[in-house]
Amino acid sequence: AKNEGRNNFQFYSQHLQANIERTTAIEAALRRAIEQNELRLVYQPQVELRSNHITGVEALLRWQHPTLGHISPVEFIPIAEDSGQIIAIGEWVLRTAAKQMKQWLDKGMLLSVIAVNLSALQFRHPNLLFQITKILDEEGLPPHYLELELTERVAMYKPEEAIAIMQTLNKKGIRLSIDDFGTGYSSLSYLKRFPISKLKIDRSFVSHVQEDSDDRAIISTIIDLANNLGLMTIAEGVENEQQLEFLRMQGCNEVQGYFFSPPTTAEEIERMTSWSADV
């Protein structure tokens, strides 16, 4: 038994070592990812249920490394947060998204918003407002076309501080939404004070609406709450018609998910979206 314990320990320490090595490799590779042109954005349509039109898109980051291959943002974003590289990467994301949205609007595409994910470190960074304002000015994108998605966790950490940051962004005309809503621990008294426009219902609730009545209850409660607070709702991770119909019945405003489209290229978005008739 003693031997087994030691073997187990060896196994775990080798496993740990491999993890550390991969993290170190990713961190080093990330340092060159922007200049080596390895990052790109994909866009996932957000469909308004009242009109059945695509009214917005969420920008999602992709990284293809020449030897490490495709690395998921779920893996590299936390590493970039720990190393501080998320600031430069986040700036690249905001710039690229703003540029793309401006191009789409100039071409006459009928989109009202591009949503960009903001990490905890970016949100708390003292330069955030200056950085975003500069990007919007330089790209010529009016602020109300940009929506920043903050996870519930990020928004609820030191909430008084968070409210102050949100207010400066909101005063600029930038829109804010709470991502992965329902998974964190929102204090309703703070939620009421957030200058946000939308709650994004987490995929984990949407996935099980067919078989789990608790998840149905949670979704309808979130939608009621949002209505009462004057907020819009969007559900993420909608993969089938049953989920869509449930959300429609509950009065959810918008949906996003594989049922309509996975995150895709800008060209594909152009094929799917409505265009203004006079352009």
Q: Does 191 bind ligand C2E (CB under 6 A)?
A: no
In angstroms, give the least distance from the CB of 44 to ligand C2E.
6
User: Shortest approach of ligand C2E to residue 119 CB, angstroms?
Assistant: 4
Task: Tell me how far, at minimum, the Cβ of 201 lies from Ca ion, in Å.
Answer: 9
Task: Tell me whether residue 65 or residue 203 sits nearer to Ca ion (CB atom).
Answer: 203
Choose the one of ligand C2E, Ca ion, none that binds residue 239, judging by a C-beta under 5 to 8 angstroms depending on kind. Answer: ligand C2E
Which one of Ca ion, ligand C2E, none interacts with residue 74, CB within 5 to 8 A by kind? ligand C2E
**Residues in 65-124 that interact with ligand C2E by CB under 6 A:** 72-74, 77, 93, 117-119
Residues binding ligand C2E: number (CB under 6 A): 20
User: 210-230 burial, b for 16+ CB within 10 Å, e for fewer?
Assistant: eeeeebbebbbebbebbeeee
Q: How far is Cα 70 from Cα 118, in angstroms, rounded to an integer? A: 21
CA-nearest of 87, 89, 63, 71 to 22 is 71
Specify the DSSP class assigned to residue 145.
G
Q: What SS3 string covers 106-144?
A: HHCECCCEEEEECCHHHHHCCCHHHHHHHHHHHHCCCHH
Closest CB to ligand C2E among 152 and 236? 236
**At residue 60, what are phi and psi to the nearest 5 degrees?**
-130, 140
Residues facing residue 46 across a β-bridge: 56
Rounded to whole angstroms, the Cα distance separating 56 from 198 reads 13
263 binds ligand C2E (CB under 6 A): yes
Residues between 124 and 163 with contacts to ligand C2E, criterion CB under 6 A:
none
CB 98 → ligand C2E: shortest distance, Å? 13
Question: Which parts of this chain interact with ligand C2E (CB under 6 A)?
Answer: 44, 60-61, 72-74, 77, 93, 117-119, 179-180, 236-239, 257-258, 263
